Amino acid sequence: MSEDSGHSYALQMINVDKYFGAVCALRNVSFEVGSNEIIGLIGDNGAGKSTIVKILTGVFPPTSGELYIAGRKVDFRKYNVKKAHDYGIETVYQDKSLGEKQVLWRNFFIGRNITHPFGFINVRKEKEIANEIMLNTIGFRGKGITVDSKVSKLSGGERQGVAIGRAMHFQAELILLDEPTVALSLKEVRKVLDFVHQIKDGGKACIYISHDIQDVYEISDRFVIIDRGKIVANILKQDIGRRDLDSFLLEYAHGMKDGVEG
Amino acid sequence: MKERKSLLATLAKIEGLPVLGVMLIMLAAFIITAPSVFTRPLIYMSFLQTVPPALVLGLGLTLVITAGEIDLSFPAVVAFSGFAFAWVFKNVDAAWAPWAGFALALVAGALVGYVNGLLVARIGVPSIMATLASQFFWYGITILLAGGLQLNLREIEETAVHTIFTGRIFGIIPAQALWGLALTVFLWFVLNRHKFGEALMFIGDNPNVARVMGINVEATRIKLFTWMGVIAAFAGLLLTIEINVFFPTQGQGYMLPVMAAVFIGGTLISGGLGSIVGTLWGAYIIGSLQAGVVATGVTSYWVQSVMGFIMAAAVVINVSMGEGRMAGLVKTFRRWTGSSLESGAAEIAPNEPDAALDNHSYGHE
């Protein structure tokens, strides 16, 4: 069964509601991500982006609605961060993807160690694979950075590259990038976008969450726009120019289109 | 690979080496200033006899501090576990009594640690507060149970437990020194080569990262405090068996020296990185400091100040030789020594963030 439906969509979210007490954070949210598609999930602060991320990554369940990952229905009663990894969702966060004081090879395998008996880490194997990911998966040819380097020696863009490489190594069906370029310089943003291209080339799917239109526009195949807990637009890139997208979003930001769509 | 490591850069990567250096310098100073004491083996045997309980405590505390927590209850565990052992030894008349007491003491330590862990991880009490309260509580319980009295355990010298844990190997080496060393090796592997130790480092570094990477942060913290309790109980046993007596306030002098040992060893106060080997040397530095300073003949008014000075110096040396700072040091060293360390700078360059960041090229361009 999963054979059949597994390859059309990396993810389907169907009629998802999320309430915190009486406060509605998400209302009737439905969208899907193709198996090799990059979705730009756009919305202002408080629109509900991070609520979506937290549902997808298993931090909390939705109040109602369904979620399919690569065709497998998610059972929210047993869903958590570890399970999300099993389902094939990997997340790259703005600032909590990597342990800063730790060496790179540990960051690749934390929580998913390759071990000898009794839980002792197979360091040689982990370093070998980490090195392989660095060179081949994300094309990290920077001189001086090795798997023994500490994360604190890496630039912001490189850190996101490592997190993306890790996600790809663990056979992610869908990589969630949660505002990965906030607080980065333009040059570093460039690096991150290059890494995201590698996701596409690697045949994987991706949700790129941001409120920076410029990044999102370049990288995405399709835009899902969310405003005050509702999806207000779902547009293919070929159907809208950057300028139009920009002004469309501005209208929402100014509340001019409040409640027009459902 | 044209990678040639300079000697100094390679040395800097060996864990605990700066602290070992500090210890050797200190011992050299003592040998010069108090040759009559420090050129004879007796003083060293005495260190090997007295330092292990503090070392064992320091090793456990290294794990705790690496995970970004603190445990102030360990002195009380030394007393409480000592009482558990002494009580069984005194009240059970059987050949296996010392072993039963030994086991009960470890269980008592685990209990204290587990409760600490629950308070910290489940209820969310900051560990400094939870374990401070715990220290008062368990000292209180110990005094209550012991009726405030000490217990003489002289008969223990005839038991196998005494021989195994605090006997003299070949008639000279105190067995507890070897137990301390064995625990050092074991816990080094736990921290640096086991997934539990790696989880501790990430939790100490940033608990949110640990959490999103699928580590059960709460369960790991409970496990950590439980282990700390067991380790502290082991230290209490080494002490009680060595001195043949239990007294209800035992362990009280350990708090600050043990912490000093851990920090001198190079474990980060902010968590995330810990040095087991550093703690080994740190414990012996702290443990030999007072005897050494006294032996040098400094007037007793000066002893404390000199100790404080040496501790501060140890930390300063350790910090300045720590991660990343070696780059500067190697450069300076090269300047001093001319070109004798020629290849040194090239390998160090990667450790300089500014130089390394800008020059990467990527596969995708």
**A165 domain-assigned:** no
Query: For residue B332, is pLDDT > 70?
Result: no
Average pLDDT over residues B29-50: 92
pLDDT band for A257, please (50, 70, 90 cuts): low
Distance from CA of B348 to the nearest CA of A (A): 9
**A155 domain-assigned:** no
Average pLDDT over residues A43-63: 89
Q: Which of B323, B353, B360 is the closest to A142 by Cβ?
A: B360
pLDDT band for B180, please (50, 70, 90 cuts): very high
**B23 domain-assigned:** yes
Task: Give me B307's structure tokens.
Answer: 């100790």
**B341 domain-assigned:** no
ipTM: 0.87
Give the type of residue at B71: D
Average pLDDT over residues B49-64: 97
**A233 domain-assigned:** yes
Cα–Cα distance between B114 and B189 in angstroms, integer? 23
Give the type of residue at B199: A
**B345 domain-assigned:** no
**A190 domain-assigned:** yes
Give the residue numbers spanning the domain of A87: 2-95+173-253
**B114 domain-assigned:** yes
**A159 domain-assigned:** no
Per-position DSSP letters for B30-88, written without gaps between them: HHHH-HHHHTSHHHHHHHHHHHHHHHHHHHHHHHHHHTT-----HHHHHHHHHHHHHHH
Instruction: State pLDDT tens for residues B106-152.
Output: 999 999 999 999 999 999 999 999 999 999 999 999 999 999 999 99
Q: Which residues of A touch B353 (CB under 8 A)?
A: 152-153
Closest CA to A155 of B357, B13, B163: B357
Across chain B, mean pLDDT equals 86
Read off φ and ψ for residue A63, nearest 5 degrees: -70, -40
Output the domain CATH number for residue A180: 3.40.50.300
Q: Which of A194-203, B58-67, B158-167 has the lowest mean pLDDT?
A: A194-203
Q: Which of A119, A138, A152 is the closest to B194 by Cβ?
A: A119
Total domains in chain A come to 1
Judge contact between B220 and B200, C-beta under 8 A: yes
B113 against B335, higher pLDDT? B113
**B335 domain-assigned:** no
Cα–Cα distance between A49 and A118 in angstroms, integer? 41
**A19 domain-assigned:** yes
Query: What is the structure's pLDDT at B306?
Result: 82
Which of 92-111 (A) contact B at CB < 8 A?
A: 93, 96-102, 106, 110-111
User: Hey, what's the torsion of the CAs at B353, B358, B360, B365, to 10 degrees?
Assistant: 150
**B189 domain-assigned:** yes
Average pLDDT over residues B82-86: 97
How much of chain A, in percent, has pLDDT values that exceed 90?
Answer: 44
Q: Which residues of B touch A196 (CB under 8 A)?
A: none
Judge contact between A10 and A70, C-beta under 8 A: yes
Which of 195-214 (A) contact B at CB < 8 A?
A: 195, 197-198, 201
A148 at interface of B, judged by CB pairs closer than 8 A = no
**A126 domain-assigned:** no
Query: What is the structure's pLDDT at B331?
Result: 61
Query: What is the structure's pLDDT at B356?
Result: 36
**B38 domain-assigned:** yes
Q: Which of A83-87, B29-33, B326-330 has the lowest mean pLDDT?
A: B326-330
Cα–Cα distance between B245 and B317 in angstroms, integer? 39
Instruction: State pLDDT tens for residues A127-158.
Output: 999 999 888 877 776 667 889 999 998 888 88
Instruction: State pLDDT tens for residues B279-310.
Output: 999 999 999 988 888 888 888 888 888 888 88
Question: pTM of the entire structure?
Answer: 0.86
Total domains in chain B come to 1
Give the residue numbers spanning the domain of B67: 7-321
